[in-house]
Amino acid sequence: MSARTLEPLADVEAATVEVYDVHKWYGAHRVLNGIDLTVRPGEVTVILGPSGSGKSTLLRVVNHLEKPEIGHVSINGELIGVKRQGDRLKELSERAILTQRGRIGFVFQNFNLFPHLTVLDNVAAAPVATGRLSKPEAQELARELLGRVGLGDRTGAYPRQLSGGQQQRVAIARALALRPGVILFDEPTSALDPELVGEVLAVIKDLATSGTTLVIVTHEIGFAREIADRVVFIDGGRIVEQGPPSEVLDRPRHERTRDFLSKVL
């Protein structure tokens, strides 16, 4: 076998994400007040909530960009950022945390592409740096993934030469290069001009149907209705209600959910 064949994305095993009783505070300011959430493999979960409700923080706790004060997260049963020591949880070393993050995709609101690297190198960087693929293999993977998000012809461009929508699609390809079992999206379309939102949502929708576990924080209610298996509404650092979009979005049981939806719809 001379050429390595790239497995289709659907073959990446979708992960289970479990969040147990997560509390997070900054000084006296409580951001998360006991969140419990289970995301099943291949499930598309959309998190909604007013600004400051803690939804982005929750997403950042999942890949341990933020450390919860109480509670923990596990992916496929493996604790994230901590390990069991007797009956206590102990923070993992930075190196071990970085290794765990290498299996979790994260897409930022502001793309955060590396401006000094070409689009191809942005996507190929992580598999090479973590030693999972050789440079030619990583570049082959990057070309394939960029083709998948419709940017196969822009591999040599620098991020700032692209539109916002194109940059966010590169960022999604960069997350996919980790072959992650779960991808977390933190308001992926909030920094985009309205006419560019569609192209990014189309890529996410493509992923949703491919069976990868997705957790998406967004304000696009229509999009949530279309692709979500489950909608989680958060307010004041607590889950107010959750369920299929037909329930939470169309027949919300709680006053606060109704109030929020009436403002954004």
Q: Does 116 bind other proteins (CB under 8 A)?
A: yes
Following CA atoms 249, 254, 257, 259 in sequence, which dihedral angle do they give, to the nearest 10 degrees?
120
User: Phi, psi at residue 88, to the nearest 5°?
Assistant: -115, 165
Contact string 126-155 vs other proteins (x = CB under 8 A): x--xx-------------------------
Q: Which is nearer to other proteins, 40 or 132 (CB)?
A: 132
Q: Does 102 bind other proteins (CB under 8 A)?
A: yes
- DSSP structural state of residue 12: S
Contact string 59-88 vs other proteins (x = CB under 8 A): ----x-x-----------------------
Q: Which is nearer to other proteins, 54 or 105 (CB)?
A: 105
How far is the C-alpha of 184 from the C-alpha of 152, rounded, in Å? 23
Give the binding-site size for other proteins (rule: CB under 8 A): 31
Q: Which is nearer to other proteins, 101 or 230 (CB)?
A: 101
246: left (phi over 0), alpha (psi -120 to 50) or beta: alpha
Rounded to whole angstroms, the maximal C-alpha distance in the chain is 61
Q: How far is the CB of 165 from other proteins (least distance, A)?
A: 17
Binding piece for other proteins, criterion CB under 8 A, among 118-126, 207-215, 230-238, 250-258: 118-126
User: Phi, psi at residue 258, to the nearest 5°?
Assistant: -60, -45
Q: Does 114 bind other proteins (CB under 8 A)?
A: yes
Question: Residue 210's Cα: distance from chain center in Å?
Answer: 15
How far is the C-alpha of 222 from the C-alpha of 264, rounded, in Å? 11
